[in-house]
Amino acid sequence: MLIVAALGGNALLRRGEPLTAENQRANVKRAAAPLAGLITAGHSLVITHGNGPQVGLLALETAGVDGADLPLDVLGAETEGMIGYMIEQELAGILQGSRFGTLLTLVKVNADDPAFRKPTKFIGPVYTEETARTLAAKRGWQVAPDGDKWRRVVASPAPQAIMEAEVISLLVKQGVTVICTGGGGIPVVERDDGSLQGIEAVIDKDAASALLAEQLDADMLLLLTDVDAVYADFGTPNARPLARLDPTGVREDQFPAGSMRPKVMAAARFSKKIGRRAAIGRLEDASAIVAGEKGTVFTTAAVRAPD
Active site residues: 9-10, 121, 205, 263
DSSP 14-49: -TT----HHHHHHHHHHHHHHHHHHHHTT-EEEEEE
Residues 206, 262: Cα–Cα separation, whole Å: 7
Sign of CA dihedral 118, 122, 128, 133: negative
What is the distance, to the nearest Å, from the Cα of residue 288 to the centroid of all Cα atoms in its chain?
21
**DSSP annotation string for 218-246:** -SEEEEEESSSSEEETTTSTT-EEESEE-
d(CA 59, CA 75): 7
Alpha-carbon distances, residue 98 vs 44, 58, 87, 261 (angstroms): 12, 32, 14, 35
